[in-house]
A and B are shown apart, each in its own frame.
Chain A
Amino acid sequence: MAIARAGTAVGRCDQDRTMSIMALPKIGYAGMTHLGLCSAIGASSKGFDTLGFDTDPALVARIDAGKLPVVEPDLDDLLRDNRVRMSFSADPKALLGCDVVYVAPDVPTDDTGGSDLSGLDGLLALVLANTRPDAVVVVLSQVPPGFTAARQRSGRLLYYQVETLVFGRAVERTTKPERFIVGAPDPSEPLPLAMQQYLEAYGCPILPMRFESAELTKISINCCLVASVTVANTLAELCERIGADWSEIAPALKLDRRIGAYSYLSPGLGLAGGNLERDLATVVRFSEEYGTEASVIRAFIGNSAHRKDWALRTMHEAVLNKVPQATIGVLGLAYKENTHSVKNSPSLALIRYLGPWALKVYDPVVPASAALHPNASGAASALDAAEGVDVLAIMTPWPEFKLLSCDDLAATMRGRTVLDPYRVLNPAAARRAGLDYRTLGVA
């Protein structure tokens, strides 16, 4: 294990408390959100007694009964295997038993990417009021630079930690993080023992830094991701016009050490999920406040908005301007595969502007009612959603959609056009089946 900065083990905890903590600290997570719940179950899998706290008693009761409100591969199994160390409560006093409490509510964003921090502030105040003075309180939600420093209070141990949740890969990310990034009041001081003991259990580097650096590290990571995504999206669109194929180009870039094997180079429908856009909006807002130059960040935002509408534009161009009474099939409502979340879903963004047409929709997890479309009917299967439609859009790359036979689709659909931005189907097989196959990054 690599620890970025050596320090003494005890920190600010008294000796008696230290002896108790050495046994193993109890970890609390406040806010049973996607982030909080997955992180809490991950903590229990590392051998720590863990409390999941939320102010919603109904939510806590459902989770306590094993009915998880989020869809993540292997998460149910992980909870079942570690149930003996996990408890859930809606009583804030239960937090008094915790040595480290992570505050992890969702921070909603508005249409411009701005964060509403009022919920986080409320939960943070509740946690501080219901934890022992020596307990370490860690803000895990995404916050703008300056947030954590502004909430320091005398006599309390308040830290910030960068969250690394990835929807659809939450278990992997929470049990095998590549590093911990910790914002601290004084990074030259050792971390509180309980927190250090907990983080060391993951066997990855721990990078303490000042609060503002940690908060900006999260944004910096996302800006780098955005750069790769935007380069891929920009050049994929060019491929669609000039006869090149981005899937042939991307492997060449992956072999370039300056770009690397793990770069995000798959074209997609702009930036998805909202968190990347939140960070771009934060950088723009700070640049306006401090007069720094951020035109490239604005360009990222503009490019993302343009590519997000690829499906809408393509559908109009290929079908809707020729078939006024078209029926449209939509496969996938979740914002990405292996998750129940529809927040910032490209599928729902498309459906929002398909008001005049009849829709048939199918998602393996999300009910058709989530489409919020007056003329949408739910289908029993992916193939059922394709029956009789003039155009089919595969808007979420769920694994089960890969099993669709292009010949079956061609025989089932009324029209020929299939929009498959994520290349779920085999392009060659689709064309052999006589489909008018449209995807990103190739003409």
Chain B
Amino acid sequence: MLSHQFSTPTAPGRVVVVGAGGFVGSTLVKQLGLAKVPVLGLTRKEVDLLADDGAKRLRGVLRPDDGVVFVSAVAPAKTAGQMMTNLRMAEAACAAFAAVQPAHLLYISSDAVYADNANPVTERSPVAPSTTHGMMHAARELMLRSEYRGPLAFLRPTLIFGAGDPHSGYGPNRFRRQAANGEPITIFGEGEEKRDHVAVEDVARLAVRILLHRSVGVLNAVTGVATSFHDIANIVAAQFSPRAEVKSVPRPGPRPHLLHRFFDITDLHKSFPDFHFEPLADGLARVHQESSVR
């Protein structure tokens, strides 16, 4: 659970977003703008954390009164090599944060750090990742804890959807792309697995709140509602005219043993009582509209 150093929202002098060119980072920059918080977005063009002088360049930009969001990552980290690349980026960032000690640091992590668990997952559930992607985020969290001594928060989003998603992972983003291309939406088996999906804008709005309250601790960016891929596919299919076909295809591997993953979002209610997520159907409709406009 989070604890707030500022009980009332208080804008930091400036927020630096390290990784502002990405899906989450760019959305966060927009949300900070809407909240009228001074923001400096750093993309790889300004600071390349994999370059030899990455740490030095970042250190040169940071100020001690900054709130900093570290969201830069090469995603997804599906291989050991990609994981190590991300850890080298974190190593450079940690060196800069240790040297400057900004006033507040928020790391955008992932729910992939948690162990598979049939019980509802909370912020206190065991961190025991089962993928290189989860291991990468867990390792980065530990690195930041070790190197940065100031107020530190981790936001752990679950599966994120949004119009600007650059990936095509299994779920609403891929379903929409398939339908937009005139292809059938394909689900594995009967698509019976239930997962939580969160809009990227909601992730960013939570990050803004954490920055304004200078919150410390861990918060899951999850809605608490698990929906089957079958149902999501049919919501997306109905957005197209004519309605897209939803087609069951054989699974590429065995059916996941964890059919349902639920989250208990009580900590979110306690941390930000008046925050509410956009319902999934509303969010998918909005994304469809935004994508059509693009």
Q: Does B266 contact A (CB under 8 A)?
A: yes
B45 within 8 A of A: no
**Chain B interface SS verdict (over half):** loop
Which B residues are in CB contact (< 8 Å) with A312?
266, 269-270
Smallest CB separation, A350 vs chain B (Å): 10
Provide a sorted-by-A list of 8 A–B residue pairs whose CB atoms are within 8 angstroms. A302-B124, A306-B120, A306-B264, A316-B269, A320-B276, A321-B277, A353-B269, A356-B274
Question: Is A321's CB under 8 angstroms from B273's CB?
Answer: no
- Residues of A with C-beta under 8 A to B274: 320, 324, 356
In B105-134, which residues have CB < 8 Å from any A CB? 120, 124
Q: Which chain B positions have C-beta within 8 A of A354?
A: 273
Using Cβ atoms and an 8 Å threshold, which residues of chain A touch B264?
Answer: 306, 309, 313
Distance between Cα atoms of A306 and B273 in the complex (Å): 17
Query: Does residue A355 face the partner (Cβ distance < 8 Å to B)?
Result: yes
B124, B266, B276: the one within 8 Å of A321 (CB): B276
Tell me, rounded to whole Å, the shortest Cβ–Cβ distance linking A163 to chain B: 32
Nearest first, the 4 A-B pairs at minimum CB distance are A321-B276, A356-B274, A309-B266, A353-B270
| Chain B residue with the shortest CB-CB distance to A354 | B273
Chain A contributes a number of interface residues (CB within 8 A of B) equal to: 14
Map CB proximity to A onto B31-44 as digits: 1 under 8 Å, 0 otherwise.
00000000000000
**Given known contacts A306-B264, A309-B266, A312-B266, A356 and B120 CB-to-CB distance under 8 angstroms:** no
Residues of B bordering A, CB below 8 Å: 120, 124, 264-266, 269-270, 273-274, 276-277
Q: Give the distance in Å from the alpha carbon of A408 to the alpha carbon of B266 in the complex.
A: 32
How far, in whole Å, are A113 and B264 apart by their CA atoms in the complex? Answer: 23
Which of A313, A324, A356 touches B266 (beta carbons < 8 Å)?
A313
CA of A133 to CA of B265, assembled, Å: 58
Q: Is the CB of B269 within 8 A of A356?
A: no
How many A-B residue pairs have C-beta atoms within 8 angstroms? Tell me: 31
Residues of B within 8 A of A357 (CB): 273
On chain A, the residues within 8 Å of B277 by CB distance are 321
Of A306, A316, A353, A354, most B-chain CB atoms within 10 Å: A316
> Complex Cα distance A355/B213, Å?
15
Complex contact B273–A355 (CB within 8 A): yes
Q: A interface vs B, CB < 8 Å?
A: 302, 306, 309, 312-313, 316, 320-321, 324, 353-357
Chain A residue nearest in CB terms to B271: A353
Closest to B225 in A: A317
CB distance from A314 to the nearest CB of B (A): 11
- Cβ distance A327 to chain B, nearest Cβ, rounded Å: 14
**Additional A-B contacts beyond A306-B120, A313-B266 (10; CB < 8 A):** A306-B264, A306-B266, A309-B269, A312-B270, A320-B273, A320-B276, A324-B276, A353-B270, A353-B273, A355-B273
Contacts of A302 in B (CB 8 A): 124
How many angstroms from the CA of A353 to the CA of B276 in the assembled complex? 14
Enumerate chain B residues within 8 angstroms of A313, measured Cβ to Cβ.
Answer: 264-266, 269
- Residues of chain B contacted by A355 (CB below 8 angstroms): 273
Distance of A392 from chain B, by nearest CB (Å): 18
In the bound complex, residues from chain A placing their C-beta under 8 Å from that of B265 are 313
Residue of A nearest to B276 (CB): A321
CA distance A313 to B122 in the complex (A): 13
Q: Which residues of B contact A353 (CB under 8 A)?
A: 269-270, 273
Give the residues in chain A near B269, CB-CB below 8 Å. 309, 312-313, 316, 353
Q: How far is the CB of B26 from chain A (nearest CB, A)?
A: 27
B105 to chain A, nearest CB (A): 26
Give the distance to chain A from B265, nearest Cβ to Cβ, in Å: 8
Least distance between B117 CB and chain A CB atoms (Å) = 12
Alpha-carbon distance between A321 and B277 when the two chains are bound, in angstroms: 8
Closest to A317 in B: B224
Q: How far is the CB of A306 from chain B (nearest CB, A)?
A: 7
Q: Judge whether A356 and B276 touch: CB under 8 Å.
A: no
